[in-house]
């Protein structure tokens, strides 16, 4: 079985207003071969604009953006991360809605990127060093083995 998450793009968003400072790495993902962004109510550019201007996203960390939802992961002092999930609006200009039930856990792609990001955060001596490192967890095809799971599980 081949895992079907695909990295579409990656970039950094930053906003330094007095009430809302933020800087995040953004990983834009979709499932293949579905081309999910084609059917999304927003373009990637619109979504980036919403994330940059949203008052609900703040701090330092990384974002994993799918066409139908966005997960933010903020680093807070000694805590590895704080998770939040938002559903992109159907109409440009509306704020993200928060989904508390989706703040924990994630799919395999999110966990693989998250493992790299946590390591980058812990290893980096400066913020510049942290923001220079990017996960390449999805650079190759990932083959999952169903044989690992016992039949009676």
Q: Report the alpha-carbon distance of residue 93 to residue 96 in Å, rounded.
A: 9
Q: What confidence score (pLDDT) does residue 132 get?
A: 97
- Contact between 97 and 54 under an 8 Å Cβ cutoff? The reply is no
Supply the pLDDT for residue 105: 67
**Which residue bears the tokens 């000694």?**
78
Question: Which neighbouring-strand residues pair with 6?
Answer: 30
Question: Is pLDDT above 70 for 148?
Answer: no
- Contact call for residues 25 and 131 (beta carbons, < 8 A): yes
Q: Is 15's pLDDT higher than 80?
A: yes
Tens of pLDDT, residue by residue over 68-91, are 788 888 887 666 667 788 877 666
Kind plus residue range of the DSSP H or E element containing 87:
strand 79-87
Q: Name the burial class of residue 144, with classes exposed (0-12), middle (13-18) and buried (19+) by CB atoms within 10 angstroms of its CB.
A: exposed
Q: Render pLDDT for 25-41 as a digit per residue (tens, 0 to 9).
A: 999 988 776 667 777 76
Phi/psi of residue 97, nearest 5 degrees = -100, 135
């Amino acid at each position: 079985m081949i895992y079907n998450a695909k990295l579409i793009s990656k970039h950094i968003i930053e906003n330094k207003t007095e009430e809302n400072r933020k800087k995040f790495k953004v990983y834009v993902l979709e499932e293949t071969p579905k081309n999910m962004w084609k059917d999304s109510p927003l373009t990637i550019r619109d979504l980036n604009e919403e994330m940059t201007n949203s008052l609900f996203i703040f701090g330092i960390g990384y974002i994993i953006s799918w066409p139908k939802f966005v997960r933010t992961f903020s680093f807070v002092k000694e805590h590895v991360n704080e998770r939040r999930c938002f559903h992109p609006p159907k109409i440009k200009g509306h704020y993200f809605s928060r989904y508390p039930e989706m703040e924990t856990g994630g799919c395999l792609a999110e966990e693989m990127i998250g493992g790299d990001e946590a390591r980058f955060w812990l290893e980096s001596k400066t913020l510049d060093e942290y923001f220079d490192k990017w996960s390449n967890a999805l650079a190759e095809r990932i083959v999952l083995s169903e044989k690992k799971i016992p039949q009676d599980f």
